Amino acid sequence: MIRAWFVCASLLTAAAGFAQTPAAEPPAAEPPAAAAPAPAPTPRAWNSLSPQQQQLLQSHQGEWSSLPPERQQSLARGSERWLSMTPQQRAGAQQRFSQWRAMPPEQRQVLRQRWQQYRSLPPERQQQVRESFNRFRQMPPERRMQLRQQWRQMTPEQRHRAAQPMRGAAPPPHRPPR
């Protein structure tokens, strides 16, 4: 069970690690179509993995040589990342993966779409979203519940207007209470 979880978690963490790496911009003088294609990943030999990686990926040993090189690389990166995690980080990853697996497919799809929307934002805007999210997480639980309840009671139009300062350039000016 742990190995099965690890394999799935390694795929998610590898994907997350890849998604967190900023994409290289093509040179301005050269159009993107003229850029050389990225070299195809080369197959990775099972014995090139560390003993710890081999233990984590043992369920793939029999099929390793028949896996596509991209999958081999992804599993290897995921296992490296897993091995570098602290016990607390591993516990958190296991908890998040359990939550993900418990979600209905429609909810997973919504989250994938939201992730793509986030990744399409400019880096400055992504930073603003992260800061807002961290401020929300630091609020007392009662305040977070209150804000969630207010959001649920809004009409779609009200939600759109409320989100505008988050999407715009500058936040509204701070006004002291009267």
For 112-166, the pLDDT digits (tens) are 999 999 999 999 999 999 999 999 999 999 999 999 999 999 999 988 888 765 5
Q: Which tokens is 125 given?
A: 């805007």
Whether residue 102 is predicted with pLDDT greater than 80 in this model: the reply is yes
- Report d(CA 76, CA 104) in Å as an integer: 29
- Report d(CA 74, CA 67) in Å as an integer: 11
Q: How do the domains of the chain map onto residue ranges?
A: 1-16+45-102, 105-167
Grade residue 4 by pLDDT with cuts at 50, 70 and 90. very low
pLDDT value for 109: 96
Quick one: which of 133, 1, 137, 17 has its CA closest to 85?
17
Residue with the larger pLDDT of the pair 91 and 16: 91
Model pTM score: 0.53
Whether residue 86 is predicted with pLDDT greater than 80 in this model: the reply is yes
